Amino acid sequence: MAGTTGTTGAGGATGAADGRERPIVIVGASLGGAKAAEALREAGYRGGIVLVGEEHERPYERPPLSKGYLLGKESREKIYVHPPQWYAEHDVTLRLGTAVAAIDPAGHTITLADDGRVEYAKLLLTTGSVPRRLPVPGADQDGVLYLRQVEDSDRIKAALRPGARIAVIGAGWIGLEVAAAARTAGAEVTVLEAMELPLLRVLGREVAQVFADLHRDHGVDLRFGVQVSELTGTDGTVSGVRLGDGTEVAADAVVIGIGISPATGLAEAAGLEVDNGIKTDRQLRTSDPDVYAAGDVANAFHPLFARHIRVEHWANALNQPQTAARAMLGQPDAVYDRVPYFFTDAEWTPRHPNEPVASRDKLSMEYLGYVEPDGYDRVVFRGDVKANEFVAFWLSGGRVLAGMNMNIWDVTDPIRELIVSKRVVDADRLADPNVPLGEV
């Protein structure tokens, strides 16, 4: 786009120098950005909305990329946030394949990578996050794969052939979900993790062990406490992973899931306050009163925890934009105080053909709450851990900070209530499945 854009606005939009109303501009056309556009319209905003995204696909959701879509069980059409016509029908100007290069908060203008400029009344940053790169020799070879975008999922899908040797670096969410999909696809999988257990920072030792056992039971060669020193290869194609102790793990493809970094570059360059993400208040307003942030990139003040937290999960990118949209429209009661929530799913092939999938071969999990790695003093299990049907609670001083239900359903409401009420509970009653959670 050449020149400067302003579109007709109402309900919060302010006029540009030439008298036209400036739009609300959203940078980052993924789940967070698309949900923000939807929320603005639902809140009755009739002014201009410009949604700018670097990717060429219209906004889509990422969870299927490591699950159903990766396995070919879920169609491409299912991943999108809205049907293609939704944007025109809701008068949302969608600018795909367009990177935003700079923000000028004083001039209320963003500059696009092609030098075009767009003025804004309010700006929402939903720039998300980017995978951390593995800083070792050989990491730029063919067959070294990351997973963030739909094209990445397509590349990994092509590598998950029966009998293929897949090395996964990092036993976090990406690593474990890809490992499960790879096993289902019939590949041989080795997972290489730097810490002594998977998901250790999020789940702690007690529950991390459950995940380790589950994946080992399903044929994954899990190796902990390893240091990856090099990715080996021939003629520019990866052939294995060399570890610090000299061991080499042969691989036809290497999938790397070693965490993400919030995409804060634009915000930092614009002088916004950035500290583990873009810092916002409880209304998701950044250090500039006309700029907001939501989703993976936002380190938002959370009233329940009385501190800033940054949540890298789907539900946060789904729900925070509603608050940001209402706050941008000047609604003072727009405060983001939802209890953080996330889920994961995996399903392995039943051990006996024609048998239904048993709980040992299935991982359907929901997690509510927020716990720092050293922030709890006790884990209470309720149910049958060996059968993989249980709820785990993380407690501090007798109060429930988080709860995770594994292959058990319809318990998120009472778990949320336990967390929000902050009341001291009796751990024996919490562990007893005969005591309804609402009566603990």
Q: Which residues contact ligand FAD by CB under 6 A?
A: 27-33, 52-55, 62-63, 65-66, 99-100, 126-129, 147-148, 174, 263, 266, 295-296, 312-315, 317, 342-344
259 binds ligand NAD (CB under 6 A): yes
For residue 249, give the amino acid letter.
Answer: V
HSE (CB half, 13 Å, CA atoms) of 239?
A: 5
Write down the least CB distance from residue 344 to ligand FAD, Å: 5
61 binds ligand NAD (CB under 6 A): no
> 335 and 283 in contact (C-beta within 8 Å)?
yes
167 binds ligand NAD (CB under 6 A): no
Q: Quick one: 116 or 265, whose CB is closer to ligand NAD?
A: 265
Q: Of these, 24, 37, 118, 169, which contacts ligand NAD (CB under 6 A)? A: 169
Write down the least CB distance from residue 181 to ligand FAD, Å: 10
Got the DSSP string for 25-66? EEE--SHHHHHHHHHHHHTT--S-EEEE-SSSSPSB-SGGGG
Site string for ligand NAD, 120-149 (x = CB under 6 A): --------------x---------------
Count the Cβ atoms, other than its own, within 10 Å of residue 75: 10
Q: State the binding partner of 277 from ligand NAD, ligand FAD, none, CB within 5 to 8 A by kind.
A: none
Q: State the binding partner of 233 from ligand FAD, ligand NAD, none, CB within 5 to 8 A by kind.
A: none
**What own/partner pairs with CB < 8 Å and gap ≥ 24 does 427-436 have?**
427/378, 427/380, 427/395, 427/398, 430/380, 430/382, 430/393, 430/400, 431/380, 431/381, 431/382, 432/382, 433/382, 433/383
Q: Which range, of 15-23, 28-36, 169-177, 238-246, touches ligand NAD by CB under 6 A? A: 169-177
Question: Vertex 355, ends 392 and 407: CA angle to 5°?
Answer: 15
Q: Quick one: 12 or 170, whose CB is closer to ligand NAD?
A: 170
Write down the least CB distance from residue 212 to ligand FAD, Å: 19
Write down the least CB distance from residue 137 to ligand FAD, Å: 26
> 27 and 126 in contact (C-beta within 8 Å)?
yes
Q: Quick one: 129 or 280, whose CB is closer to ligand FAD?
A: 129
Q: Of these, 193, 252, 361, 366, which contacts ligand NAD (CB under 6 A)? A: 193
Q: State the binding partner of 295 from ligand NAD, ligand FAD, none, CB within 5 to 8 A by kind.
A: ligand FAD
Which region holds residue 403: left if phi is over 0, alpha if psi is between -120 and 50, else beta? Answer: beta
> 36 and 26 in contact (C-beta within 8 Å)?
yes
Q: Single out the residue of 357, 360, 365 nearest to residue 405, CA to CA.
A: 365
Q: Of these, 312, 316, 339, 415, which contacts ligand NAD (CB under 6 A)? A: 312
258 binds ligand NAD (CB under 6 A): yes
228 binds ligand NAD (CB under 6 A): yes
299 binds ligand NAD (CB under 6 A): no
> Which residues, including other chains, have CB under 8 Å from residue 334's CB and lie 6 or more apart?
283, 323, 324, 325, 326, 327
Write down the least CB distance from residue 436 to ligand NAD, Å: 28
> 188 and 166 in contact (C-beta within 8 Å)?
yes
Sign of the CA dihedral with 283 first, then 284, 286, and 287 last: positive
308 binds ligand NAD (CB under 6 A): no
Q: Single out the residue of 124, 92, 148 nearest to residue 27, CA to CA.
A: 124
Q: Contact residues for ligand NAD (CB under 6 A)? A: 66, 134, 169-175, 177, 192-195, 228, 257-260, 312-313, 342, 344
